[in-house]
Amino acid sequence: MEYGATVAENVARVFDRIARAERRAGRAPGSVKLVAASKSQSLLMIKEAYAAGLTVFGENYVQEAQEKISGLPDAEWHMIGKLQGNKVRKAVSLFSWIQTVDSGKRLEEISQCAVEAGKVVPVLLEVNLGAEESKAGISANELPAVAEVSEGLRGVKVSGLMAIPPYGIDPEESRPYFVRLRNLRDALARRMPSLELPELSMGMSGDFEEAIEEGATIVRVGTAIFGVRSWR
Ligand SMILES: *Cc1c(COP(=O)(O)O)cnc(C)c1O
């Protein structure tokens, strides 16, 4: 991949690659949501991407996101990093979506803050796909129990699952993880018909096309848009 191009060129290229993957997978054009992973990027860079047609951004840290969101409030902002308990209220006030719910307790806290703010926050349950190096997320076993917590919570709408496969593996090696997340979603949807779970957030710069082929509805792409970060 070339990362030397301008942000606008990268944005166009990523949209084009998404469109081709949608076509290959027999998915409707425009059905996959591109979330630009903008951690460590300046507001200036983010505005450049916005001007090039990107409207959805994902941030990993509440503190870092705050300034950017107030600088570009018209964009849609997703929380894609680990959410600390003491940051829940702030996150609910700042983000449209929270993709990284990793416990029933967090669900309850988010719902409580959302109800107080008079809104319903769409959330994804982050699943630990059993990769040794990644400790984040809910294990497959615990997933139904956590999902059940959401029943009766008025401030959250559990809309699907999110996962981060092991970093740095070959895109084709990511595929089984994507299949696994899709199967977990399908099983959960059968088990809990009251939940609608249309969303699968999976796939990053190195493997978003494979993810789309396996059913991703949301891809989170940083490097292919902004270039290589100085930190991960
Ligand atoms: C940084 C990040 C991404 C994007 O990673 P790239 O490889 O730069 O595309 C996606 N998801 C999460 C949760 C991230 O933290």
**How confident is the model over 134-150, as pLDDT tens digits?**
678 999 999 999 999 99
Measured CA to CA, the distance from residue 126 to residue 135 in angstroms comes to: 11
Q: What is the pTM of this model?
A: 0.95
CA nearest ligand 1 atom 12, residue: 80
Which residues of the chain register pLDDT less than 70? 1-4, 131-134, 168, 231-232
pLDDT for res 200: 98
Distance between Cα 148 and ligand 1 center (Å): 28
Ligand 1 atom closest to Cα of 220?
10
pLDDT for res 2: 53
Within 6 A (CB) of ligand 1 lie 37, 39, 60, 80, 164, 204-206, 220-224
Ligand 1 atom closest to Cα of 232?
1
Whole-Å CA distances, 231 to 92, 152, 222, 223, 227: 26, 40, 12, 11, 12
Distance between Cα 99 and ligand 1 center (Å): 12
pLDDT for res 1: 44
Ligand 1: residue of 17, 220, 230, 231 to mutate (most ligand atoms within 8 A of CB) is 220
pLDDT for res 165: 85
Ligand 1 atom closest to Cα of 224?
9
Residue written as tokens 């047609």? 53
pLDDT for res 133: 60
Distance between Cα 174 and ligand 1 center (Å): 14
Measured CA to CA, the distance from residue 148 to residue 108 in angstroms comes to: 11
Whether 137 and 161 have beta carbons less than 8 Å apart is answered as: no
pLDDT for res 231: 58
At position 57, the amino acid (one-letter code) is F
H helix or E strand, kind and range, residue 19: helix 7-24
